[in-house]
Structure 1
């Protein structure tokens, strides 16, 4: 379960970061998949930069939650 959360979080971080960079600079034209996620959320239609930042933050939270369950040693 932890690996699945880490993987999903990592993908969301990557998509959010690439989408943010794309919105700010125009790079990463191949990251159209991240825009499809935002199209499904009608309240983020006119704010793609905010949406990509939210994706990255949610991914970071997923990774941190999966890490918090680990025991040292």
Structure 2
């Protein structure tokens, strides 16, 4: 379970970072945030939420026993 949480956290961190990079620089347009129509105009907030979720998942995985 620990590895699953770490994997999902890594994916969320990558997607959040890509979303912020795309919003501010125009690079890397393959992120999931860009393709969600419900977040039109709120891409920055969605990307930040993904990054916060990633750190929460990393913290949760650290609390699990090996």
TM-score class normalised by the smaller sequence? 0.7 to 0.9
Measured on the aligned residues, the alpha-carbon RMSD in Å equals 1.7
Listed as ranges, the matches of 1:1-73 within 5 Å are 1-29=1-29, 31-36=30-35, 38-39=36-37, 42=38, 44-70=39-65
Under a length normalisation based on structure 2, what TM-score does the superposition of the two structures give? 0.82
Q: Partners in 2 of 1:21 and 1:70 — Cα distance?
A: 35
Under a length normalisation based on structure 1, what TM-score does the superposition of the two structures give? 0.75
Shift in Å, 1:65: 0.8
Gaps of 5+ in 1: none
Shift in Å, 1:18: 0.8
Gaps of 5+ in 2: none
Q: 54-63 or 44-53: which moved more?
A: 44-53
Residue by residue over 1:29-63, the C-alpha shift from the partner in whole angstroms, topping out at 9 and shown as x without a partner, is 2x243333x43xx4x43211111111111011101
Greater radius of gyration (CA) = 1
